[in-house]
Chains A and B, each alone.
Chain A
Amino acid sequence: MIVSTVEPSDEALAARAASGDDSAFETIVSRYQARIYRLACRLTSDTDAPDVLQETFLQVYRHLPSFRGDSQFGTWLYRIATNAALMHRRAQMRRPAASLETFLPRFDDQGMHAATPAELQIAARADELLDRRLLAEKAREVVARLPDLYREAFVLRDLEEMSTADVAQTLGVEPATVRQRVHRARLMLRGFLSNLVEVRS
């Protein structure tokens, strides 16, 4: 007997799951659960991520029959997960976040960088210069402190590594808006890392 060792595609599994094959649905869940959990942690918090994970796959199960294959299955699933995370977050009381504006780059009267090249470079080596656990803790805190609009764009574009076009489609905004939000987030985070290295060393 010849046994195929080729993994079935997401789309093939989705079609089987939609017609009532629960083992196909379980395969989809095991294929994506770690990625969706990570996304949920980045968009909400460790505390809320398990709920977002459950809600996402329940929605996927319910809506599988309406998955048309217009987009890739993964993109479709990420859209559901992102919406579940954003809905969940909006349902929570938002704590006023301390402003990260203070970490934006500074310029002199001539429009030139105020910091020295060494100071401007240092954030690039944050992972070499800082303790790994400290960096993990601080990085998660600072991502949570980003203003919501910047956070969702940055998480999808830079942490989940989606294309700008896919992020725009997922969030329902123009690509230029995605670029502008991701850029602001990067500037704040770059400055935050820089400050963290200076304070710690």
Chain B
Amino acid sequence: MSEVRCVSGVELLMDYLEGVLSVEMHAALDEHVAGCEKCAAFVASYCETPRIVRDATAPPLPSDVEESLKLFLRARTTAFRRN
């Protein structure tokens, strides 16, 4: 098998993490990352990115939006049943 470079490792990273690569390709990437400080650093930050963005974008439901929803649904479901 040809030697893995960082660029092809990055290209296959999500498939690698989801376990959909062939056993050989998975092993080749394991080997590359184990010997490549840059890829190890890249993988660490790639894996943390979803969590950081998730925690930073979790708005709570505002009470006025909740109240409007309640009034809206009461009016519309009553109208829906009448029809």
Q: Which of A58, A113, A182 has the most CB of B within 10 A?
A: A113
Binds B, one of A8-16, A33-41, A70-78, A88-96: A33-41
Task: Among B8, B39, B46, B56, find the residue whose CB has the most chain A CB atoms closer than 10 A.
Answer: B56
Could you say which of B57, B77, B81 contacts A140, with CB atoms under 8 Å apart?
B57
Contact of A58 among B7, B10, B46, B76 (CB under 8 A): B76
With A50-B68, A57-B69 known to touch, is A122 a contact of B45 (CB < 8 Å)? yes
Is A111 engaged at the interface, CB distance under 8 Å to the other chain?
Answer: yes
Q: Across the interface, which residues of B come within 8 angstroms of A198, CB to CB? A: none
Nearest-neighbor residue (CB-CB) of A136 within chain B: B56
Q: Does A82 touch B at the CB level, under 8 Å?
A: no
Chain B residue nearest to A181 in the complex (CB) = B14
| B interface residues with partner A (beta carbon < 8 Å) | 5-8, 10, 13-15, 18, 20, 37-42, 44-50, 52-61, 65-66, 68-70, 72-73, 76-77, 80-81
Chain A interface, DSSP helix/strand/loop, else mixed: helix
Does A149 lie at the interface of the complex (its beta carbon under 8 Å from any beta carbon of B)?
no
- With A50-B68, A113-B39: A193-B52 Cβ-Cβ less than 8 Å: yes
Number of interface residues of A (CB under 8 A): 60
CB-CB under 8 A from B70, the residues of chain A are: 29
Check A57 against B44 for contact (C-beta < 8 Å): no
Q: Is the CB of B41 within 8 A of A121?
A: yes
- The answer to whether A189 and B56 touch across the interface, beta carbons within 8 angstroms, is no
Please report which residues of chain A, range 43-95, place their CB below 8 angstroms from some CB of chain B when the two chains form the complex: 46, 49-50, 53-54, 57-58, 61-62
**Does A18 count as interface, using CB distance less than 8 angstroms?**
no
Q: Determine the distance from Cα of A47 to Cα of B55 in the docked complex, in whole angstroms.
A: 20
With A117-B41, A187-B10 as contacts: A54 and B68 at CB distance below 8 Å? yes
Chain B contacts for A38, CB-based, 8 A: 58-59, 61
